Amino acid sequence: MIKKLVITALITTLPYINAFADTPSEGMWSDIKSTLSDTWDASSYELYLPINTWHNRHYYSQEKINGYNEQPWGLGVGKYRYDEDGDWHGVYVMAFTDSHSKVQPVAGYAFQKMWRPNNGIRVGAGYTLGVTLREDFNYMPLPVIAPVASIEYKQLALQSTYIFGGKGNGNILFTWIKWQID
């Protein structure tokens, strides 16, 4: 039941990405469902520990920054897999304290193209699609579409996303530690 809810929530965010496509093909939807199911069915787990929320100083006044929480206490868990190309796929749920020190849960799917400069080290770049709930939006579901990047050594990773926005909103670098449990 939870698997179906997560996959349904993620698929509902895809029209935002697909807005520029002419018409999505049935094959594309089938591929998306297959990728999500394969990732959900993976037997490898990861833990997430949020460590920093940085508000881009170019878009916020010092007064606003002084009032924001940049220590996002929280925790998350996910399932992951590496595909035949060595790229990382993950489904996750995480909750942390947002910029206003309110609880913000997020659930989603993430993909990263991985490069391996040497044994044990991986560098990744990709995207995440998901759903979040925020107190300042009355906990209404909000889509998440954001880039993700990481540097990893064996089972430990430093992973970040950047939430784009305008003057006084968004433009936040959110960083967490990821530990892969096998």
- Please provide the DSSP assignment of 109-132 as one string: EEEEEEEEEETTEEEEEEEEEEEE
The two tokens of residue 47 are 């833990």
Which residue from 181, 152, 150 is spatially nearest to 45, judged by alpha carbons? 181
Can 100 be counted among the known catalytic residues? no
d(C-alpha 56, C-alpha 96), whole Å: 19
pTM comes to: 0.83
Point out the catalytic residue in the list 38, 85, 98, 136: 98
Q: What is the pLDDT of residue 11?
A: 52
Domain assignments of the chain as residue spans, ordered by start: 2-181
99 belongs to the catalytic site? yes
From the list 38, 41, 55, 182, the catalytic residue is: 55
pLDDT tens string 80-127? 999 999 999 999 999 999 999 999 999 999 999 999 999 889 999 999
Q: Are 161 and 154 in contact (CB under 8 A)?
A: no
Two tokens, residue 134: 């925020």
Looking at the domain that runs over 2-181, which CATH code has it been given? 2.40.160.20
60 pLDDT higher than 90 = yes
The residue-averaged pLDDT of 52-64 equals 94
pLDDT score of 168: 81
Catalytic residue among 25, 30, 61, 99: 99
Q: What is the mean pLDDT of residues 140-160?
A: 97
Q: What angle do CA 100, 104, 110 make, to 5 degrees?
A: 130
